[in-house]
Amino acid sequence: MRLHTSGHMTRCLIGLLASTVIAITFGGVTSVCAQSPSPEPSDVYLARAKRVLSQTPLIDGHNDLPWRIREDSIARGNVNAYDLRKRTPGQTDLNRLRAGMVGAQFWSVYTPGEWRDSGYARVQLEQIEIARQVIAKYPDRLALALSAEDIRREFKQGRIASLLGLEGGHAIENSLGALRAYYDLGVRYMTLTHNVTLDWADAALDSAKHNGLTSFGDSVVREMNRLGMLVDLSHVSAATMSDALNATQAPVIFSHSGARALVDVPRNVPDSILTRVKMNGGIVMVPFVTGFVSPEVMRYDESSRTIITDLQAKYGKDTAAITRDIKAWRAAHPEPHATLSQVADQIDYIRKIAGVDHVGIGGDFDGITEVVQGLEDVSKYPALFAELARRGWSDVDLRKLAGENLLRVFAQAEAVAKRSQASTVR
């Protein structure tokens, strides 16, 4: 399964990812007895959340189901074997999507930047095929969407509008022609980098080679504008964020990133960029990645990395000794858990700095192993909206967060593309 932070990766390396998570649902499990004179406040907020989500498509910016299917130990890339009509071993299936009131989903067609193979395009095309197979397999529940209007139409028809988001510009292999081909296959956003710095763009979790974007990187952004493909700045360095905002004519997105002021990790967005996102008209879609939303988890990850580095220096290749000692350390230092309230804090903070028109949801389900308490899978979105309602969010603002902000950004990107295509010849 794909992991997003070096803290997660170190846990993977030592084989200690299987930890018990206690599921706590916030405001979504209490039933009201017929004798009750009035509903409890938590039920009032949950009812408001569900009413909003029944009227406005909840658009999640990032779900790694296609990679989860590819890496599944049993299905191993077999879409038919990984049956979404049943309870899946991951965090996503059709019944839980319905319970979560998901109206539209960007399915990530992620490929690892570390897997050069014979070229990145082969794996990328396979991932697009897996995603397209998933969408085609459940025509009563899912529908391929290529535009903002498609999202609105499919929501009215009761199907989840399904879009493709390409995670990592390494997949274009330095070719604008490949970029155009991916767009023709249905890709509607591209994350400029994943965790590996490219020939034309610096990544957040790799060394900086260009201080942002190169001139070719600028041309990639401009071509994405011309196509109507959303520019996704999750995973890129702060300098790349800045350069992309300089180059773009359309609003940008962060498909799954939080606020760096609350959790200081390179994958989150600095305040200076949040301010520019407001000026640009873009959107930051808050993830449910524990180390991005909880400072306690982030500090625990940092401590874990230090301990693991020290043990590797002490024991060398003796993985049994390393595993034994890290287990003992973890037993003496229980891992903290991220909470739904901390995700809500992230959303509130981005609203404070960038404005309510510039925040959304990018859960990153099936791309994470540790989960936020109260947001364990795709069924839990209403609980988050209920918490925000409890904090004083109006229905109008909840609708913006759910999907109206993303629909506006998408429509504006399409308008930029239409003007560009009318005035230029490729």
Among the listed residues 8, 256, 337, 358, the single catalytic one is 256
Residue 41 has what pLDDT? 56
Is 235 catalytic? The answer is yes
Phi-psi region of 364 (alpha: psi -120 to 50; beta: other; left: phi over 0): left
- Positive or negative, the Cα torsion across 378, 384, 386, 389? negative
Residue with tokens 């899912």: 142
Among the listed residues 301, 345, 348, 364, the single catalytic one is 364
Q: Are 160 and 143 in contact (CB under 8 A)?
A: yes
Digit-coded pLDDT (tens) for 126-168: 999 999 999 999 999 999 999 999 999 999 999 999 999 999 9
Residue with tokens 């795709």: 378
Is 377 catalytic? The answer is no
Phi and psi at residue 363, to the nearest 5°? -55, -35
Residue 30 has what pLDDT? 32
State both tokens at 14: 């030592």
Digit-coded pLDDT (tens) for 21-49: 323 333 333 333 333 334 445 799 999 99
Burial of 146 (0-12, 13-18, 19+ CB in 10 A): middle
* Residue 104 pLDDT greater than 70, yes or no: yes
Residue 20 has what pLDDT? 31
* Residue 200 pLDDT greater than 60, yes or no: yes
Q: Are 369 and 1 in contact (CB under 8 A)?
A: yes
Phi and psi at residue 374, to the nearest 5°? 95, -10
Among the listed residues 93, 167, 218, 370, the single catalytic one is 167
Among the listed residues 43, 64, 93, 232, the single catalytic one is 64
Is 167 catalytic? The answer is yes
Residue 91 has what pLDDT? 98
Is 358 catalytic? The answer is no
Among the listed residues 4, 8, 62, 337, the single catalytic one is 62
In DSSP notation, 385-416 reads HHHHHHTT--HHHHHIIIIIHHHHHHHHHHHH
Is 64 catalytic? The answer is yes
Digit-coded pLDDT (tens) for 173-195: 999 999 999 999 999 999 999 99
Which residues lie below 8 Å from residue 278, measured CB to CB, with a gap of 6+? 353, 354, 355, 357, 358
* Residue 56 pLDDT greater than 60, yes or no: yes
What pTM was estimated for this model as a whole? 0.88
Residues in the chain: 426
- The pLDDT confidence band at residue 310, using thresholds 50, 70 and 90, is confident
Mean pLDDT of the 378-390 span = 98
Residue 214 has what pLDDT? 98
Among the listed residues 235, 301, 376, 377, the single catalytic one is 235
Q: What is the mean pLDDT of the chain?
A: 90
Among the listed residues 194, 210, 337, 358, the single catalytic one is 194
Digit-coded pLDDT (tens) for 250-259: 999 999 999 9
What percentage of the chain carries pLDDT values higher than 90?
Answer: 79
Residue 331 has what pLDDT? 84
Q: Rg for the chain (alpha carbons), in Å?
A: 21
Residue 2 has what pLDDT? 53
CA distance 205 to 292: 13
Is 256 catalytic? The answer is yes
Phi and psi at residue 254, to the nearest 5°? -115, 105
Phi-psi region of 211 (alpha: psi -120 to 50; beta: other; left: phi over 0): left
Residue 344 has what pLDDT? 98
